[in-house]
Amino acid sequence: MVSEQIYKSGIEPTESYQVLHNQGCLSLDKGNYQEALIYFDLVLALEPKHQQARAFRGAVLVFLERYTEALESCDRALFLNPKDSEIWVIRGVALHRLKRYKEAYNSYDRALGIERKPLFQQLFQPILSLIKTSS
């Protein structure tokens, strides 16, 4: 059903998940979190092992204050790439908001030992501000 809707939209089958991912990123940048979530869910329906979509989905869920789901999404993304520092930070924020402080600090510690990628740097500032507002 998902793929039928995508194909009816005129998106090429070979590019469909990348186009949807880009739309999700644009929605995220604009603060349209519910819309971004829909796009990332569509990407994952087409490409379940799309690690970036899984990570961005986790970030969107943090912004939507759906912390348990964010944690699950981050854990799945980390299963695909355990060396992604940004996911460890997003995971830490979700745990922090769930008042699971020891686990949150462990996630932050894991992130500190991994080099950051520029792709997520714009996403970091709003997420880090969530940490400050919850203290």
Q: What is the pLDDT of residues 27-49, one digit of tens each?
A: 999 999 999 999 999 999 888 88
Helix (H) or strand (E) segment spanning residue 111:
helix 101-112
Considering the domain boundaries, does residue 93 fall inside one? Answer: yes
**Cβ pair 78, 94 in contact under 8 A:** no
Confidence of residue 19 (pLDDT cuts 50, 70, 90): confident
Give the pTM: 0.73
Mean pLDDT of 78-91: 92
- The domain total for the chain is 1
Contact 134, 97 (CB under 8 A): yes
Judge whether 24 lies within some domain: yes
Instruction: Choose the weakest-confidence range: 7-11, 18-22, 56-60, 123-127.
Output: 7-11
Question: Is residue 78 assigned to a domain?
Answer: yes
Q: Is there a contact between 80 and 64 (Cβ–Cβ < 8 Å)? A: no
Residue 129 lies in a domain: no
User: What pLDDT is attached to residue 26?
Assistant: 92
**Where in the sequence is the domain holding 47, given as residue range(s)?**
2-124
Q: Averaged over 105-113, what is the pLDDT? A: 88
d(CA 121, CA 132): 17
Give the CATH number for residue 74: 1.25.40.10
Yes or no: say if 78 and 35 are a contact pair by the CB < 8 Å rule: no
Domain assignment present for residue 131? The answer is no
Q: Is the pLDDT of residue 6 over 90?
A: no
